[in-house]
Amino acid sequence: MQENYRKLEGMRYEFVSGSVVKESVHIACTVTFMATLDLTHFKYMSNTYVPGYLDSSTNAIKPELEGVAYHGLYNRFNSAAGNIGTVEALVRVFSSPDNYFDIWSGNGLQMRYQKPQFDTVGDQIKITGGRDYRWEDEREIKPQDVPNIHFTWALSVLKARPDDPFHEPDEIVRFGYSEEEYVEVEGRQIRKGARYLVGRDLRLGEINPKQILIAG
């Protein structure tokens, strides 16, 4: 199924702080971003694609947080359906650490995501997480070994199947802060306006806000 992505008015993603720390045989790249969501506009647009989206207990949502956290599957609204009147209520649906993977993967240079932390104030969500890196053969890793990291903030709208509501829901649309068009950044296609970090420029210590670049 072809991805249906739309830039959503009122979604923003701003770097707050970050650090690169050596932990035994791995490097921990931890970052904090402030995500903004205009819930009124999100409701309006999601209803355009899935009428009554937030009112159905079997519909679902999945956050896309590349570079910060990896959500394993999706979350149905269940008892929250019909009661999502704030950004905090929406975030509660998907913010449990149990939803997120933190296992090593890959060959050669291995990576694992950190479990994220969500703190909501009004229409803003402070999200802290990141990635850890190590060499599979346990040789010493340096900050410059870390690949480029791209930062995604998007919400996938998933619709339950009316004839089989407990079947895996279908992704109808994905809303995010970056543009819909792609641009090339060092050999990879990423969305224009997306934040990213150049790995070879990393050093131990605090991440300088100037190191968080914008594609395009």
Write the pLDDT tens digit of every residue in 27-50.
Answer: 999 999 999 999 999 999 999 999
Q: How far apart (Å, rounded) are the C-alpha atoms in residues 76 and 53?
A: 11
Residue 165: predicted pLDDT? 76
- How far, in Å, are 104, 204, 210 from residue 19 at the CA level? 20, 7, 13
Q: What are phi and psi of 165, to 5 degrees?
A: -65, -20
- Domains contained in the chain, number: 1
Cα–Cα distance, 4 to 157 (Å, whole number): 10
- State how far the alpha carbon of 177 is from the alpha carbons of 24, 30, 81, 145, in Å: 36, 21, 25, 29
Domain that holds residue 114: 5-214
* Helices within 23-176 (DSSP H only): 39-49, 87-94
Share of the chain above pLDDT 90, in %: 93
| Amino acid found at 156 | S
How many angstroms separate the CA atoms of 126 and 117, rounded? 8
Structure tokens at 12: 């923003």
CA angle 63, 69, 73 (to 5 degrees): 50
Could you report the per-residue pLDDT of 169-195, keeping only the tens digit for each?
Answer: 999 999 999 999 999 998 899 999 999
Tokens of 182: 């792609």
Separation between Cα atoms, residue 202 and residue 124, nearest integer Å = 28
Quote the pTM value: 0.95
**Residue 2: pLDDT band by 50, 70, 90 thresholds?**
low
